[in-house]
Every structure is written in structure tokens, then in C-alpha cells.
Structure 1
Amino acid sequence: MLISSNELMEQIKKPSLVLIDCRSYKDYLEGHIPGAVNLDFFHYHWFDTSKDGIKAFEKQMENLLSFLGVTKDKTVVFYDDVSGMSAARGVWLSMYFSHENTFMLDGGFKKWKRSGLVIETKTNGFKPEKFSGKINKEMIAGYEYINKKIGTAKILDTRSRDEYDGNTIRAARKGHIPTAVNIDWILNINEDGTMKSLEDLAKMYDFSKNDEIIVYCQGGYRAANSFLVLKMLGFKNVKVYLGSWGEWGNKLDLPVELNQN
């Protein structure tokens, strides 16, 4: 699920490559990897994980992947500044539609630039294609499903400790989903923006491979990064809670847990 700068450089001119810069358009204009199109995934929050809400999400994302020009024969690479959350969201989305050849650029644009590789500033246009993929329902969770799974599934909160404890409030209510454990997603990456080694990551995520793991954050972006880490570590049953705290924390009928400090 990771591709290095050198590996990407070898594929940069292949017509089968779809390269997506997930940073802001401002950052993209200041310089990007040659051939990349820009799509800032932060414009695509989704806080309705009812049955109809997830159906609508799938339809919109299918249209988005069509707009990007993704087809079954394409290799898709997402990148942002580092091995970050926006690019991870793109990889998770591709995998959700069962697209196999999808990667995140390890170290992101900062590593690319630091390596002295070629950069361009011209804007690249989209080349839309009709996208269709098989949806993998085993990779997503909605609030109703999670509410039933409290106490049986391993729930992983990938937000900051202050958000988890309720010191930072970003919804109508503060705290976390009951029984959730907290491992901040930022611990997944090294200081240089690359992903930590599998050995180091395995020490952090010392869970049973038999666990069903549901990851969440505020909007499903940081959670996507930890989702990729868990998949790289060989965990089979991992789901992203798409609505995350942006939905859960605003639904007053759902249970909330607060740490007693």
C-alpha cells in the first residue's frame, strides 16, 4: 500500500498511472509531482452513516473516482505532504471499491522534494473515465453497527489524547466511544514524514489478529491512516467508522465515555 519516491519516479510517465495530489490547491500550484491532478479530499467529509447515507456516499465517491479517471487497469497513487491522512483516505476509498493497484506515496511531497526529484507548477486537467468497482462492505462501519458492537469489537480512537479525554471539544459532546482505546494516528509516522517500520508499528498495535477492529477519528481521515497501518500489519477484520466523532458526538442518543482525570 506504500510506494517510494524512487518507485513512483519509474512509473511517472506511464499512461496507466493516475497520480492524485491530495493537498490544497494553493500548495499544488506552488509545485507538485509531474502529471499529478489535484483533489483535496478534505472537501468530502461525510457525517451520515445511516443505510441511506452510506448509499449516497458510495454514489458520490463512484462519481468522484470516475472524474479522476480511475479504471480497473490503472495504478492509482495518492500523496499529500507526508504519509498523511488525506492520501490514506484516498487509498482506503479505492480499496473500498476493491481497486487493487492503489498506493500512498511514502513520505509524501516533502520527501519527494527533499530527494531532489523533478517538480512542476502547471495545472493538469482531469481525464474522466467510467469507474465501477465492487463495494467491500467489510471495510466500513456506521453508527448503528458500532453501537451494537460496543464491548465485543476493539474500537480504536485515532484522535489526539486531548480529543479523546474531552479536553478538546469538536462536537456537541466531548469524550469518546465507550471502550475505545486511544492511539494517536500521528504516532504512525516518523519525523521525516515517512511511515514507521512494521516492527515499530507492531509494538504499538499489539492487538489480537482475531479481533474485529473499528477505527475512527473526527471525520474518517486520520482513521484511514491507521486503517492502512493495521492492514499492512496483517489484521484482516478492520473497518473505518466513516462518520466518526463528527457524527457520533452530535447524536445525543448515542453513549459517550469520559475519562475521569
Structure 2
Amino acid sequence: MNYIIDKEWLLKKLHEQNVRIVDCSFSLAEPKKGRQGYDQNHIPGAIYFDLEKDLSGEVGEHGGRHPLPNIEEFIYKLETAGIDEITTVIAYDQGEGAFAARFWWLLQYLGHEKVYVLDGGFKSWREGNSPVTSEVPTFKKTTFKPNMNHDLLASMEDVRAVAGEQDSDTILIDSREERRYLGLEEPIDKKAGRIPGAINKPWFEGLDSGYYKHAEMQKQRFSDFNPENEIIVYCGSGVTAAPNFLALKAAGFEKVKLYLGSFSDWISYQENEIE
């Protein structure tokens, strides 16, 4: 199934009653920048979900830098935004892809199938001279009934069971840039390196100037993997691994999980080895 849509598709759906648009714009360097940009201009009808306030939980000893949000609280926020399990939802960011993909993954985890990512994000939308507004919409509260898809989430124990195992049928994908994967530099986390046995597939190689590469090119990126094998993707904190998760789905891989805590969670356990 194709979960990536273009602005022409969204323009046709823009004013449909059962469509919700979610602005996930965020800057890791400037956490307030996403909301400030939304307040200035956004796609008409869009509501704002913040990476750290809405799409992540409280940071603790374990769980990584962007842990799974409290599911009941997240569902309440969806309901307040007028989103139920049959609403068509389109997420976008500024074109980076990672923040919208994080929201997309969370709804997939809740069992919501009709959720999509706007290819090229808000940058693409503005280039097309499409309508924007500063108006913040309100919607009638609804009820969201989740159908949890736990198969999409890999725990630290799941990863530990396959890390460094030569004969494992599970493939570990490290989605970070090569220098962090190799442990040559680590600008964010307390330790450098990778989870033993992980293969490097930088997340940004699945995009071209903010647009996702088409399915055949994604298949080529992952042509060294057997589609029958289980794949676990991770990054630093579970955010930039989401575009790789989405790209794998576009390439036809079905057995894909996200290690949401990712490397920042892995290193929080002193006994875990680092390669």
C-alpha cells in the first residue's frame, strides 16, 4: 500500500469533512521553531502535533531521548483533534520527512490504516503556491478506538536477542549517518558506536530533496535483504528511523519493526555491548 501522497492528492481532499491534516514541523536544534512556524502559516485545516510534547513521552532512565508517548494521552489528543479510527489523516513536516513519518508510524501502531505522509512536506506545498493560513481550526471531539499493532514495535529485549547473532534471521538496520554508525563521531548521545551486527542504511538516502524515492528505487536500496526476514530499524532516538520504516513498507517489506528507544535507549543499559 502506498502511504506517501502528493500535494495534488491533498488539494482534492482539502475540504472533505472526514479528512484531518497534521502539521508535525519540528527542529531538534530549536524545539519551539515548529510551533512558531505553524502559528505563522500552515495548510488550511491543519492541527499541530509537537514531536516532544505530543509524539514522545517523558524522558526517563530508559526509553531513549524520544520515548513512546503515553498511549491514552496520545489518543485523547487525537480525539480532541476530531480524529477517529476511520478518519483519513495526512501528516506533513517542513520536508525533512522524519517528523511526519513519526506521526504516521504512531497511528499505524494504533491500528489506523488511513494515514499518509505528504511527499515534500510544507516546502512542496508552498512551492506549488497552494493555500496557507494562520487560522487554528477546532473540531468536535470524537472517540478513537485503537486496534494496537504490537508487531510494529521492537523492545530492547527483542533487539538484545538478535544483536551480534551471526545466524539470526532478523536484520538490524542502523538509520543514522555513516560516521555515527561507525562510531567516528557522536554529537548527541553519551556513547559512540552501534548495536552489534547492525547494517547501515542512512535514512536520508531514501529521499531526494525532501521527496521519497519511488518504490523501485527503495527496493534497490534494500535489495541485499530477504523480504521474508524480519527487519528492525533504529536510529538515535526513534525519529529518523521512521522514514526508513516507511521506505521499507513502500519497497514491499512486511515484517518491519521500529526499535523506538533506538541507540539512546540501548546505551542506557550498561550491560549492552556496543560495536
Q: Equivalent pairs: percent with the same residue?
A: 30
Q: 1:168 to 1:69 in 2, by over 3 A?
A: farther
> Are the aligned partners of 1:173 and 1:250 in contact in 2 as well (CA < 8 Å)?
no
Quote the residue 2:91 is aligned against: 78
Alignment of 1:4-153 (within 5 A): 4-23=6-25, 24-43=34-53, 44-46=55-57, 48=62, 57-82=70-95, 84-125=97-138, 127-150=140-163, 151=165, 152=168, 153=170
8 A contact 1:83–1:106 mirrored in 2:
no
Question: For residues 73 and 213 of structure 2, what CA distance do their matches in structure 1 show?
Answer: 33
CA contact (8 A) 2:21 2:90 kept: yes
> What's the TM-score once normalised by structure 2's chain length?
0.86
The alignment partner of 1:37 has SS state of: strand
Please give the secondary structure, in 2, of the residue aligned with 1:41.
coil
Please, which of 171, 195, 199 is the counterpart of residue 154 of structure 1?
171
**Unaligned stretches of 5+ residues in structure 1:** none
Q: What do the CA deviations read for 1:138-186 (whole angstroms, capped 9, x no partner)?
A: 1001101110122221000001112212233232321010000111111
Cα 1:164–1:127 shift into 2, 3 Å = farther
Q: 2:220 aligned with 1:211, yes or no? A: no
1:249 aligns with 267
The 2-side partners of 1:142 and 1:126 are apart by 35
Describe the superposition over 1:204-230 as per-residue Cα deviations: whole angstroms up to 9, x where unpaired.
111111111000011111111110110
Is this contact kept in 2: 1:155–1:214, CA < 8 A? yes
Alpha-carbon distance in structure 2 between the residues aligned to 1:104 and 1:246: 26
Instruction: Please state how far the C-alpha of 1:249 moved relative to its aligned partner.
Output: 1.9
User: 2:177 is aligned with what amino acid?
Assistant: S
8 Å Cα contact 1:22/1:87 also seen in 2:
yes
TM-score if structure 1 supplies the norm length? 0.90
Query: Could you say if the C-alpha distance between residues 49 and 58 of structure 1 is closer, same or farther in structure 2, counting changes exceeding 3 Å?
Result: farther
**Corresponding position: 1:166 with 2:183:** yes
d(CA) in 1 for partners of 2:52, 2:200? 23
- Deviation track 1:25-67 (CA, whole Å, cap 9, x = no partner) reads 11112211111011122434356459xx97x743333333333
RMSD over aligned CA atoms reads 1.9
Separation (CA, whole Å) in 1 of partners of 2:93 and 2:143? 25
3-state SS of the aligned residue for 2:212?
coil
Distance 1:66 1:149, change over 3 A: farther
Give the conservation status (yes or no) of the 8 Å contact 1:188–1:195: yes
